[in-house]
Structure 1
């Protein structure tokens, strides 16, 4: 899935994402840390991976082809 960063707290390294379908979901610091990214910007496009329960497990930058 892809979306944009809606909120980001640099202290906790967590926030919320606005998915392309309009759904807003939270992401934990662990999902951010798994990507190896150091900083996210509001409005930045990202790709997310989720587990079977729908929890965000990884936030990465999208790849363009």
Structure 2
């Protein structure tokens, strides 16, 4: 799934993305670390993987979207 980076805190390696429908979704340090990134800037297109449904839905992987 694709999204746009919205916030990122390099100290905690956590942040949020906006899904293409405008829905914000937070990610934790483990999802950021899984993608092998070192920095993320707001506005960058990212690829995410999610797990769970409803309230337990969470991002498990964040990496840059490449074309």
After TM superposition, the score normalised by the length of structure 1 is 0.90
Distance 2:26 2:52 in 1: 16
Name stretches of at least 5 consecutive residues in structure 2 with no aligned partner.
none
| Moved beyond 3 Å, runs of 4+ | none
Q: Which runs of 5+ in 1 are unaligned?
A: none
CA distance in 2, matches of 1:47, 1:60: 5
Corresponding residue for residue 9 of structure 2: 9
| TM, length-normalised to structure 2 | 0.88
What's the RMSD between the two structures over aligned residues? 1.0
